[in-house]
Amino acid sequence: MSANAPIADELVLGTAMWGWTVDKVTAFQLLDAWYAAGQRKVDTATNYPIDRVPEHFRLAEQILAEWIRANGVEDLQVNIKVGSLNNMHTPDHLLTRSFMLMMLDEYQFLFGNNLQTFMVHWDNREDEREIEDTFRAFGEVVAKGLRPGLSGIRHPEIYASLNGTYGFDFDIQLKHNVVQSDVERYARHFSARCFYAYGINAGGLKLEEGYSDQSSIKARGADPEKFDSLLNGIRTVIAQAKENKNRPALNAMHQVGLIYAAYHPQMKGVLVGPSKVHQLESTLDFFRSLRQYDYRDVYEELVKLNQN
Ligand SMILES: NC(=O)c1ccc[n+]([C@@H]2O[C@H](COP(=O)([O-])OP(=O)(O)OC[C@H]3O[C@@H](n4cnc5c(N)ncnc54)[C@H](OP(=O)(O)O)[C@@H]3O)[C@@H](O)[C@H]2O)c1
């Protein structure tokens, strides 16, 4: 990779834990701080929070819509991911053209001018004709001036092949962190700089802080102890990085996650999921540092760590 390759320049505020570990008051504070910092991009999905509580189906989008209404905001850039039929973490989804268009109407009504991107959320299908039906809906998404997008696609090769005919400029969300990355699975079929990384903290892994019952990683059912050896590897990388005194030292997982995502050459943006305002502020602070200081050497060491 060239030393002058651009790094990802967009941040998107995630809402996956809103209504779950993040209550409405905190979500409003996060949006206040995000907006005040000049940030406009927000990501949500019909099935957030995926906490398997049926009454919470569509709760994250409702919190977001309520904040928009309360503040009379018209210039957010909301990304909505559609297709899921519940928040039970099942693969039940509907991506027919007619259902997609119904959802499009629904979200244009809910978010108004704040709606920017309309994404398929999770697609396990392998029938090309069925997927082409979804492409027809994307045609209408684009005709309305919105961006089309993909997230959680089991067969990106089918999407890429169909797109040879349709030529959509997709934004693509994919998991990308030091523990696990889906980049290669998509990069084989999509060569543009069109990726948005999510899960940059591996769902809430901490380098130094401890965990509580409200910790995101625990709520999601993962065991942080499984990652002890990888975390030790990361600690070694950031200890070495401290030898360079010309830039702020690293000490937290969100910094590592931002470096690992932002320096990937196909990364256009990074989804961040702060659960508290101080996390949001530290994320924005470090994103600013990434523009000011060079952390490419750290990125390269993290890539090696991931390969071992
Ligand atoms: N396309 C998809 O299928 C998909 C999948 C997943 C997510 N997403 C989107 O991407 C967004 C982010 O994903 P994610 O929640 O998995 O991201 P993540 O960054 O891996 O995990 C977020 C958690 O990391 C911790 N954290 C974040 N910033 C921090 C900071 N500055 N300091 C300390 N801890 C920090 C918090 O944990 P604690 O709360 O425990 O402190 C937070 O809840 C989601 O909200 C969603 O919008 C999309």
Tell me the pLDDT tens digit for each residue of 190-228. Answer: 999 999 999 999 989 999 878 988 899 999 899 889 999
| Ranges in the chain, pLDDT < 50 | none
For residues 63 and 78, give the distance between their C-alpha atoms in angstroms, rounded to a whole number: 13
For a substitution probing ligand 1, which of 30, 174, 275, 286 has the most ligand atoms within 8 Å of its CB?
275
CA distances for 209 relative to 223, 230, 252, 253, angstroms: 15, 16, 9, 10
Cβ(150) to ligand 1 under 6 A?
A: no
Q: What is the DSSP string of 116-181?
A: EEEEEEEE----HHHHHHHHHHHHHHHHTTPEEEEEEES-HHHHHHHHHHH----EEEEEBSSS-B
What values do phi and psi take at 110, rounded to 5?
Answer: -70, -45
Q: Is 3 left (phi over 0), alpha (psi -120 to 50) or beta?
A: alpha
Nearest alpha carbon, ligand 1 atom 8: 198
Cβ(100) to ligand 1 under 6 A?
A: no
Predicted local distance difference test score (pLDDT) of residue 1: 52
Cβ(47) to ligand 1 under 6 A?
A: no
Ligand 1 centroid to residue 277 C-alpha, Å? 13
Ligand 1 centroid to residue 164 C-alpha, Å? 33
Nearest alpha carbon, ligand 1 atom 5: 198
Which of 150, 75, 152 has the alpha carbon at shortest distance from 116? 75
Please give the model's pTM, rounded to 2 decimal places: 0.97
Nearest alpha carbon, ligand 1 atom 40: 215
- 97, 79 Cβ separation under 8 angstroms: no
Predicted local distance difference test score (pLDDT) of residue 271: 98
What values do phi and psi take at 158, rounded to 5?
Answer: -70, -40
Element spanning 284, H or E: helix 277-292
Cβ(283) to ligand 1 under 6 A?
A: yes
**Token pair in block for residue 185:** 């699975």
Predicted local distance difference test score (pLDDT) of residue 214: 85
Nearest alpha carbon, ligand 1 atom 11: 14
Ligand 1 centroid to residue 162 C-alpha, Å? 32
Ligand 1 centroid to residue 200 C-alpha, Å? 7
Cβ(202) to ligand 1 under 6 A?
A: yes
Ordered domains of the chain (ranges, CATH): 10-307 (3.20.20.100)
The mean predicted confidence, pLDDT, of the chain is: 96
Instruction: Dump pLDDT digits (tens) for 218-255.
Output: 998 998 899 999 999 999 999 999 999 999 999 999 99
Whether the CA torsion 191, 254, 180, 123 is positive or negative: it is negative
